[in-house]
Structure 1
Amino acid sequence: MISYISGIYAGHSTDAVVIECGGIGFCIRVPETVLNRLPAKNSEFKLYTYLHVKEDAMQLYGFISKEEQEMFELLIGVSGIGPKGALGILSALSMDTLRFAIYAQDAKTIAKAPGIGIKTAQKMILELKDKISLADTLGEQSAMVSADAVDSKTNANRAEAIEALTALGFSASEAVKAVSGVKDIETLSTEAIIKAALKKTL
């Protein structure tokens, strides 16, 4: 497998970029996150890559970050989601939004991606929810969450707050993200968590 390609950015199309390396121009399919961050032409450019091999073709897919490339591999491992669908998901949803949606089992948010229906989104959640760690989902909040993990009351308050926010119209992933950003959550009541979360969203 080709882990990454580093060379000269030579141009792009609507869904691919060309990187010249060693006198060869590599055409690499990419999500919009890459197209939105292209360097000046003829500048050095590096993409983490995945080589997809089929009976009749080989195609490189490229990503700005290693974590995005790893997420792409997880997505294409889901039955019914091919490379095109995975690129669509990564183009429509940020890594944070996608992780939160999987963790919160928020199929509606995932189904916003082109070509991904509710049933496919639900299948994706089912197959990936155990492969997305809570630490990765919450980023800087992970240390706080780990410390809280044994506190059933804190977890109950957090769950009630998330449920209340979804009742107010937040998507499940938005509610999880808002509640996870509340500081000193272990000292707060459910009502206080909800108020703090709402302040963060305003």
Structure 2
Amino acid sequence: MIAYVRGILEGMEEDRIIIDVGGIGYGIYMSGTAMGRLPGIGKEVKVHTYMHVKEDLMQLYGFLTADELRVFKFLIGVSGIGPKGGLGILSALTPDDLRFAVASNDVKAIQAAPGIGKKTAEKLILELKDKLKLEDALEHAGESSVVSSDGIADASANAMTSEAVQALVALGYGNTEALKAVRQVEVTDGMNVEDVLRQALKYMI
């Protein structure tokens, strides 16, 4: 089992990258979203990996964070969703977007992924309800939006951004779009929930 690959990014193809590790090139399939976040060719990268073995086929799938890999494993555990399908879903939705879609039964959001029909999306929601926790997404929203002067996310600020997401949902916005909007707000000292909400609303238009 290869947990991760660290090496030099040698090339990028349509749906996979090549990482040179000690003179051996590893071909690793990745989502388009993840590939867009990679550094330039010739730079060192670390990619968390999942090895898919089937009969005479052996493929590596890569992710930039351990959370993406964990969500991917949940996805391919759903009947009817293979590795390519799971990668397609993570190309259309971030792990946190997926958590909100599952929590809010947003079938259309999941159907936005290539090759995912309504029945598969409904099955995914049913099977992952207890595995993809909404609390994790709210925690990530706070961590990514609020950082104190010493670089440590403040617990009260995390709670504030969570309240802003809930307020947007109460106003009638979807869970996924509410999370996206709040995550774009740059929260500074002295701001309150109303300030975060006001800024987030600008991204809803």
Above 0.5 in TM-score? yes
Q: CA deviation at 1:8?
A: 1.0
Q: Is the CA contact 1:162–1:176 (under 8 Å) kept in the aligned structure 2?
A: no
2:41 counterpart of 1:41: yes
Q: CA deviation at 1:197?
A: 5.4
State the alpha-carbon separation in 2 of the partners of residues 52 and 20 from structure 1. 20
Q: CA deviation at 1:184?
A: 8.3
State the alpha-carbon separation in 2 of the partners of residues 33 and 56 from structure 1. 29
State the alpha-carbon separation in 1 of the partners of residues 170 and 129 from structure 2. 19
Q: CA deviation at 1:26?
A: 0.4
After superposition, residues 168-183 of structure 1 pair within 5 angstroms as 170-174=173-177
Q: CA deviation at 1:49?
A: 0.3
Q: Is the CA contact 2:100–2:134 (under 8 Å) kept in the aligned structure 1?
A: no
Q: CA deviation at 1:9?
A: 0.8
Structure 1 counterpart of 2:65, which letter?
Answer: S
Cα root mean square deviation, aligned = 3.0
> Matched residue of 1:20: which SS?
strand
Structure 1 counterpart of 2:176, which letter?
Answer: S
Query: Across the two proteins, how many residue pairs are aligned to each other?
Result: 178
Query: Unaligned 5+ residue runs, structure 2?
Result: 144-154, 186-190
After superposition, residues 1-202 of structure 1 pair within 5 angstroms as 1-139=1-139, 162=169, 165=172, 170-174=173-177, 200-202=200-202
Q: Is the CA contact 1:135–1:141 (under 8 Å) kept in the aligned structure 2?
A: no
Q: TM-score, normalised by structure 1?
A: 0.75
Higher helix share: 1
> Matched residue of 1:18: which SS?
strand
State the alpha-carbon separation in 2 of the partners of residues 199 and 23 from structure 1. 49
Q: TM-score, normalised by structure 2?
A: 0.74
Structure 1 counterpart of 2:78, which letter?
Answer: V
> Matched residue of 1:200: which SS?
helix
> Matched residue of 1:81: which SS?
coil
Structure 2 counterpart of 1:171, which letter?
Answer: G
State the alpha-carbon separation in 1 of the partners of residues 52 and 89 from structure 2. 17
State the alpha-carbon separation in 1 of the partners of residues 181 and 13 from structure 2. 37
State the alpha-carbon separation in 2 of the partners of residues 131 and 92 from structure 1. 20
> Matched residue of 2:126: which SS?
helix
* C-alpha distance 111-64 of structure 1, shift in aligned 2 (>3 A): same
* C-alpha distance 198-42 of structure 1, shift in aligned 2 (>3 A): closer
State the alpha-carbon separation in 1 of the partners of residues 45 and 199 from structure 2. 40
State the alpha-carbon separation in 1 of the partners of residues 181 and 37 from structure 2. 27
Q: Is the CA contact 1:4–1:47 (under 8 Å) kept in the aligned structure 2?
A: yes
- The structure number with the bigger radius of gyration is 1
Question: Which aligned runs of 4 or more in structure 1 are off by greater than 4 angstroms?
Answer: 140-144, 175-179, 196-199
- What is aligned with 1:188? none
* C-alpha distance 54-163 of structure 1, shift in aligned 2 (>3 A): same
